[in-house]
Each structure stands twice: as structure tokens, then as C-alpha cells.
Structure 1
């Protein structure tokens, strides 16, 4: 199972961490792993290249992390979009992905 944890603070700091393997299918054929990887990498690259946030990211084996010292409003919008995708995957594949947003501190629009 992939465990994804999204932590934010009221001052705009962000930590996203994903660990583990989905186990939906064999390596190279796992659609859950591929979907999560695509979303995590898109968030990291978009924060870096689109909104020019001060972001550090790492993708190694079954682990991924994204850290930002603060996010602009555009960065927060990207994060919310990322969460929509992650929650959709979690809903469709609850045995393969767990998304923890208990430490998500920003007010979420539409909640």
C-alpha cells in the first residue's frame, strides 16, 4: 500500500510524503503506482516550474517527498488539485492507497 501524508501549516509550509508500493499489479504494470507517481511528480515540477516556489523534492524507489517553505495562492491551488486526484485514486483503490490529510491546516474551499 502507498501511504501519502500531506502536512501544511498556516504560514504556508508544505510537506508531502509518499511511501510504499501499491501492490495492485506487478512492477511496471501497476496502474495505481503509475497514477500516484504522475500526480506527485506533476505537483513537484509544477510548483518549481510554473509557480516558481522554493521547493525541494526527491523521488527514490518507493518513496517521494516534496517540501516547500511557503506556497503562493497559485501553489495552494496546485496542491488542492493534487489532493482531488489523490482522493479520487484512494476512493477507487482503497486497498492500495491511503491519503492522510489530518495535518492539512489550510481552509479548503468548498468544504
Structure 2
């Protein structure tokens, strides 16, 4: 099962997310649930840099493909414009995760935590 955790600060702004574990829907290389989660979470990471214009060096991330792990954290001192764009990227990723959760509830979870 894959666990997706979205982290918010005390004001409710999303500061990052973590994806842990393989979905287990099918064998490695054929697991469409795991692939979909990977596409959503990795596209969000890339978009934080390329769409939101957050410097790559300011985004803290860790990827371990063998363990099915990705964690991403953005800085808390973004300009208002970058913050708004980051919110859209995060919320779009969450919409995709929720859609997967509706179709494949036995293979992933979505949780929220505070940073």
C-alpha cells in the first residue's frame, strides 16, 4: 500500500508531501496504481521548479525508487505569486490522488500532517 501524506503549516498552507511504499496492485512494472501515483507526485515536484519558478536548490526532496519513497518540501518564504502557483500545483496533485483513492481504496491512503 502507498501512503501519501500532505504537510501543512499552522496557517493551512501546503509545505510539502511524502509518498511511501508500493501500491501492490500488480507486479513490479505492471502496477498501474503505483505508476499513476508516481506520475502525479513526480510531476508536482517538477512543476514546483518549472511552473512555479521555485529554484531547484530551494526545494528539498528525496527519492528512493526501490523503497517507493518521495518526499518534497518547499521553503516558507516564497513570494505571494510563487506561493499561489505552488498551491495550485499541490491542489492539482491532491485532486489526482483523491481520484485514485476513489477507484483503488485498498492500495493507497491520503493523510494530512502539520509541519
TM-score under structure 2 length normalisation: 0.82
CA distance in 2, matches of 1:93, 1:68: 29
Query: Which residue is 2:84 aligned to?
Result: 73
Q: How many residues align?
A: 104
CA distance in 2, matches of 1:75, 1:51: 6
CA distance in 2, matches of 1:57, 1:13: 15
Cα-Cα RMSD? 1.9
In the alignment, structure 2 segments of 5+ residues that lack a partner are none
Tell me if structure 1 keeps the 8 A contact 2:14–2:90: no
Q: Which has the higher helix share?
A: 2
Residues 28-56 of structure 1 deviation map (CA, whole Å, 9 limit, x = unaligned)? 00000000000000000000111122312
2:102 to 91, 94, 105: 91
In the alignment, structure 1 segments of 5+ residues that lack a partner are 106-111
Query: Which residue is 1:108 aligned to?
Result: none
Aligned-pair CA distance for 1:74: 0.8
Tell me if structure 1 keeps the 8 A contact 2:6–2:14: no
Aligned-pair CA distance for 1:15: 2.4
Match of 1:51, SS? coil
TM-score under structure 1 length normalisation: 0.85
CA distance in 2, matches of 1:57, 1:40: 11
Change beyond 3 A, Cα 1:12–1:69: farther
